[in-house]
């Protein structure tokens, strides 16, 4: 997907957080800093998880926090946060990678989702992503 869809500055690794909410805030703030979303979007991401449950866990250890396009998306894009230590989303559901998603509408982000799918569908890249300790490690995984 190249730098256009995952920018280097939208990646953080070895992030230490106290709980899932803080992890989602870090992930959401990256989207804000990239100019992908309004700051209200971050609250919407957290509210969605509170209301609907931790369903955004898309693979063991990987969450895809996001909200709706109308919750303040400016431009589509993703952010990636790899945690130093995993956090619990729900009893027994530990997450150590968060992929923040900003989607403009139902169809436009297919390319982004395909890229994410490619990474998490293969055991090797999924493992590499979870073990990433630098921005370069993360970029490498998404370069496939």
Partner 1 sequence: MKILAVCGMGFGSSMMLKMTAEKVLKEKGVKADVETTDFSTASSADADLILTNEEFARQLEGGKTKVIAIKNISDANEVEEALSEVL
Residues of the shown chain interacting with partner 1 in the complex, contacts defined by CB under 8 A: 48, 52-60, 64, 66-68, 90, 101, 103, 106, 109-110, 113-114, 116-118, 120-121
Q: Which is nearer to partner 1, 17 or 102 (CB)?
A: 102
Contacts of 14 (CB under 8 A, 6+ apart): 82, 83, 84, 133
Q: Please give the Cα distance from 121 to 109 (Å, whole number).
A: 18
Active site residues: 66
Q: Which is nearer to partner 1, 110 or 136 (CB)?
A: 110
Query: What angle is formed at CA 91 by the lines to CA 23 and CA 134, rounded to 5 degrees?
Result: 30
Closest residue by Cα to residue 81 from 94, 55, 62: 62
CB of 62 to partner 1, least distance (A): 8
CB of 52 to partner 1, least distance (A): 4
Q: Which is nearer to partner 1, 80 or 101 (CB)?
A: 101
Tokens of 138: 């993360």
Bridge-based pairing of strands 62-63 and 57-59 is antiparallel
CB of 46 to partner 1, least distance (A): 13
């Amino acid at each position: 997907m190249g730098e256009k869809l995952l920018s280097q500055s939208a990646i953080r690794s070895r992030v230490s957080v106290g709980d899932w909410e803080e992890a989602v805030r870090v992930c959401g703030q990256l989207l804000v800093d990239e100019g992908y979303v309004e700051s209200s979007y971050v609250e919407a991401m957290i509210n969605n998880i509170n209301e609907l449950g931790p369903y955004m866990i898309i693979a063991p250890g990987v969450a895809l926090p996001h909200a709706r396009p109308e919750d303040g998306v400016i431009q589509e894009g993703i952010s990636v946060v790899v945690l130093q230590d995993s956090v619990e989303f729900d009893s027994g559901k530990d997450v150590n990678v968060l992929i923040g998603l900003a989607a403009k509408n139902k169809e436009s982000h297919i390319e982004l989702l395909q890229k994410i799918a490619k990474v998490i569908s293969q055991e090797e890249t999924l493992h590499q992503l979870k073990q990433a300790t630098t921005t370069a490690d993360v970029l490498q995984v998404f370069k496939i």
